[in-house]
Structure 1
Amino acid sequence: MNDTPGWASPGSAPSEGQNGPGVPQPSPPADGSGPASKWSKEQPPPGQWSAPTGPGQVPGPPPPHWGGGRHHDGGWGRPPAAAKPGVIPLRPLGVGEILDGAVSTLRAHWRTVLSVTITVSVISQICSILVERYLLPAPPELDPDATPEEALEQSVESLQSSLVALGPALLITLIGTLLTTALLTVVISRSVLGRPITLAEAWREARPRIPHLLGLTLLLPVGSAVIMTVGVLPGMLIGGAGVLLSVVGGLAAITVIIWLMVRFALASPALVLERQGVITSLRRSAKLVQGAWWRVFGITLLTLLLVFVVSMVIAIPFTIIGFAVDGAGIGDLFTGSGPDFGWPFLIITGIGSVIASSITYPISAGVTVLLYVDQRIRREALDLELARAAGVSGYGSAPPGDRTAGG
C-alpha cells in the first residue's frame, strides 16, 4: 500500500482462508523460538503494541499490564490501546467509534469539509429555488365542491404536478450528493491516516473517479425503479382485482430493494479509494457486507435517523421564521390551492437547508467510508496497511480469526 488514500485491494482476503505473500503474518519473538524472523529494532510505546500469539511463538516478557493477545488484556479483560494516527483507532470499530470518527473528521478538517459542503449546498439550493420559481408549472387548484369524478381527475393532475416538480429536485440532489461523496471520501480517507488535505488536493484525487461514481449513482436508483415496476406491474395490469397483488408485490419489491441497497452500501468508497469500476465496486461491497448484513443495516439506519433528526432540528426553526415572514404561504395551506410561497420563505428555508446539509453530509459520508474501512480491517487486516502508511513502526499482526472485536 502507498501512503495515499487510494488503497489498493489486497487481493484474496484473509477471510477467505487464503494465506499468501500479500497477507500480513505475525512476527516471532526475539529469542529465536518459532520461524526465523526479526523484531524491529525500534519498538513503539506499549500503548501501540500488542504481543504476537500463535503456535510455537513465545513472546518475550511483557510489562505486567500487557495481555497475551491483540484484542484482550490478560489481566483486566480489556482491549489494549491500538495505534490511532487519525480519527479512528486502527482496529475493528464499534458503532460509537464510527459515528465519533465521522464527527471528528468534521472537526479536524472543518475548513476543507465545509468548503465542500457549503459550496455544493449553496449551488444546489440556488438551482432548486430558480427551478421552482421559473421552470415548474403552477400546482393545480383543487375545487372543494367538485364531483367525485372531478375530484379524482384533480387528484391525478396534482400527483402528476408533484412528480414533475420532484424530477428537477432529485436531479439537483443527485449531482450535489455525487460531488460531496467523491470529495468527502478522499478527505475522510486522509483523516484516518491523520494527514491534512486541501480542497484542491481532494478534487485532484476525486476528479478521475467522478464519471464512474456517476454511473454507480445512476445505476442504483434505476435498478430500484425496475424492481419496483416488476413488483407492482402484474397487479396493475389485472385491474381492480389485482390491487392486493400490487400491494403484495410492492412490499416484496421494497424488501428486495432494501436488501440490495445495504449489500451495495460500501460500493462508493470502494470505487473511489480502490480505483474500481462500477460493477467491480458493487462486487467488492457485496463481499465486504457478506456475513455482516444486519450490522451494516443497523448502522446505516441509525445514521439515517441521526441525519433526519439533525436536519429537522435545524430546518424547523427556519421554516417557522419563513412562515412568519411570508404569511401568504400559510393561508394557502388551508385552502384548496397549493401553497405559493414568496421569495422570503424560499430564501430563509434555503439557508436552513444549507446549514443542515453542511452538517449532515459529512456525517453520512463519514459513516459510510469508516464502515468500509472497518469491514476491511475485520476481513483483510487493512489496519496493518494503514499503520504502515501512517508511519506507525512495529505495528503487530493479529491471527486472521481474531478480528471481530469492536461491536
Structure 2
Amino acid sequence: MNDTPGWASPGSAPSDGQDATVPRPSEPADSGGASSKWSAAQPPAGQWSPPSGPDGTPAPAPGPAAGWGGPSHTGGPGHNGPHHGWGAPPAAKPGVIPLRPLGIGEILDGAVSTLRAHWRAVLSVTLVVAVVSQIGDILVQRYLLPAPVEVDPNASPSEALDQAADSAKASLVALAPSLAITLIGTLFTTAILTVVISRSVLGRPVTLSDAWREARPRLPQLLGLTLLLPLISVAITMVGIGPGLLIGSAGGVALTFLGGTAAVVVAIWLMIRFSLASPALMLERQGVIASMRRSAKLVHNAWWRVFGVQAITLLLTFLVSLVIGIPFGIIAMAVDGDGLGGLLSGSSPEFGWPYLIISGIGAVIASAITYPISAGVTALLYVDQRIRREALDLELARAAGVPGYGSDRPGHGPTGG
C-alpha cells in the first residue's frame, strides 16, 4: 500500500472483477449441501443450564475470544452501510473520518475538519489561487469584456430573436475568460487539496511543500481532465440547441428550448458520472480516460447519492459565498458612487475600480473557504465509494497503523511503495 496518493491498486477491487484480495466473511462449514457434523444425539430442549463454579454459584460468562468484536469487513460489493458486529466497537478513526461507509454529514464534517487540521497548507494554496484568479478576473472585467448588447423593446419577433442570439453570444464571450481563470484555479486547488485530504484520512501531517511535491507530476493529466469535461458539456449542449438555432423561426425557439433542456440533463448525468475522476487520477495515478472509467465504475448504482451530496455541497458553498459576498457588494456600491447611482436609476451601472477591488476581496475570502470544502467533499466521496465497494477501510486502517487490523502485506506497508 502506498502512503499517498493512492492506497490500493485500482485493479484489486471487486468492482474491477477481481475479488481475491478483498477480505470476505468465511462460508459456513455446512454450506453448499455438505453433511452436518453435529451429532444426532442432542440433549432435550430446555435441559441446558449455565456451568457452576466450585461453590455452586453460576460461573461468569466467558469473555470474548481473541479477535471477537475486532475490526470487521465494512466494505464489499453492494455494501451500502456500516457493518457492525454484535457488540463490535466503533470504527477506527485515525484521521478526519471514521473508517466505514460515511453519511453526508460525516463527509461535510471531514472536509471542514481537514480545513481546520491543516489550515496552513490549505489556506496557503487557496488564498494564493483565489487572489491570482480574482486579479485576473478584475482585469478581464475592466479591459476585455465587450459592451452589453442593446435590446430594443419595440423590436419585431424576428429582430428580438436575433437580439437574444447576439446577447447570448456576448454573454458566452464575456463568461469565457472567467471560466478559464476558474478552471486554472480549480486545477491547482484540486491537485494539492486532494493530496492533503488523503493524508488527513490517515491522520498524518502534511505541509504545502509535501503536497506540491506529490501533486506536481499529475498536473498535466489533471489539466487534460479539467479541460476535457467542460468540452464534453459544451459539445453536448451545442448538439442539443444546434438544430433549433439553424431553423431560426418560432418553431426553432421551441426546438432550441427542448433540445437545450435534454442536453443539460445529459450533461449533468455525465458530469456526476465522471465527478470522481479527479481523485482517481491523483490518488491512483490513472490516465485521463482511465480515471473517467474508474469514476463511472465507482458511481455505478450510486448516481443519485453522489448527485445529492454534490448538489447539497454546491448549495452550501453558494450560500457561504452569498453570505460573504453580499456585505462586500453593498460596501463596494456605497463606496463607488457611480455604480450605485446607475443601479438606482435603472440603467446599466458603470462600476469603477473601488467596486471591483472591494467586491474582489469578498470573492477571495469566499473562495478561500469554499474551495477546500468542494475539493474535500469530492475526495471523501471517492474514499467513501471505495470503502463501500472495495473494503478500502481495511487498507486505510493498516496504512494508518491502527492496532488489530493485521500486518501489512509485503511491500504494501504504510510507508511502502
Q: TM-score range by the shorter chain?
A: 0.7 to 0.9
Paired residue for 1:238?
247
Distance change (3 Å), C-alpha of 1:69 and 1:121: closer
In 1, distance between residues paired with 2:104 and 2:146?
A: 45
Verify the 8 A CA contact 1:88 1:97 in the aligned structure 2.
yes
**2:193 is aligned with 1:184:** yes
The match for 1:225 is 234
- Residue 49 of structure 1 aligns with which residue? none
Q: Which residue of 1 aligns with 2:394?
A: 384
What does residue range 106-145 of structure 1 map to in structure 2 within 5 Å? 106-140=115-149
Q: 5+ unaligned residues in a row in structure 2: which ranges?
A: 28-61, 74-82, 408-417
Shift in alpha-carbon separation, 1:127–1:205, aligned structure 2, 3 A: same
Displacement after TM superposition at 1:257 (Å): 0.9
**In 2, distance between residues paired with 1:218 and 1:288?**
22
- Residues of 1 paired with 2:266 and 2:165: CA distance? 28
2:140–2:177 contact (8 Å) kept in structure 1: yes
Alignment partners' CA distance in 2, 1:229 and 1:362: 32
User: How far apart, CA to CA, are the structure 2 residues paired with 1:68 and 1:8?
Assistant: 19
Counterpart in 1 of 2:341? 331
3-state SS, counterpart of residue 80 of structure 1 = coil
Aligned-pair CA distance for 1:117: 0.4
Structure 1 unaligned residues grouped into runs of 5+: 29-58, 398-407
What is the rounded CA distance, in whole Å, between the counterparts of 2:64 and 2:188 in structure 1? 52
TM-score scaled to structure 2, two decimals?
Answer: 0.79
8 Å Cα contact 1:8/1:273 also seen in 2: no
1:373 is aligned, of 359, 372, 383, to 383
Contact in 1 for aligned 2:94/2:400 (Cα 8 Å): yes
TM-score normalised over the length of structure 1: 0.81
CA contact (8 A) 2:8 2:395 kept: no
Q: Is the 8 A contact 1:140 1:338 kept in 2?
A: no
> C-alpha separation between the residues in 2 aligned to 1:17 and 1:181?
29
Is the Cα–Cα contact under 8 Å of residues 4 and 283 in structure 2 kept in the other structure?
A: no
- In 2, the alpha carbon distance for the partners of 1:137 and 1:74 equals 67
- Structure 1, residues 138-192: CA drift from partner, whole Å, max 9, x if none? 4355677x65588776665544433222111111111001111111001111100
Shift in CA distance, 300/251, structure 1 to aligned 2, threshold 3 Å: same
For 2:123 and 2:100, the matched residues in 1 are separated by 28
Q: Which has the larger radius of gyration?
A: 2
- The equivalent of 1:321 in structure 2 is 331
Quick one: percent identity of the two aligned structures? 73
Deviations 1:23-42, CA, capped at 9 Å, x for gaps? 335699xxxxxxxxxxxxxx
2:59 match: none
Closer/same/farther in 2, CA of residues 387 and 18 from structure 1, 3 Å limit = same
Match of 1:3 in 2: 3
Q: Give the deviation of 1:120 after TM superposition.
A: 0.2
1:14 aligned partner, one-letter code: P
Q: Deviations over 1:194-245 (max 9, x none)?
A: 1111111111111111111111111111111111111122233233223322
Q: How big is the alpha-carbon RMSD for the aligned residues of Structure 1 and Structure 2?
A: 2.8
Q: Larger deviation: 258-267 or 225-234?
A: 225-234
Structure 1 residues 320 and 137: CA distance shift in structure 2, 3 A: same
Q: Count the aligned residue pairs.
A: 361
Alignment of structure 1 residues 148-167 onto 2, 5 Å: 148=156, 157-167=166-176
Is the alpha carbon distance of 1:5 and 1:26 closer, same or farther for their aligned partners in structure 2, counting shifts above 3 Å?
farther
1:74 aligns with 2:83: no
Within the candidate set 252, 270, 274, 1:264 is matched to: 274
Residue 61 (1) aligns with residue 64 (2):
yes
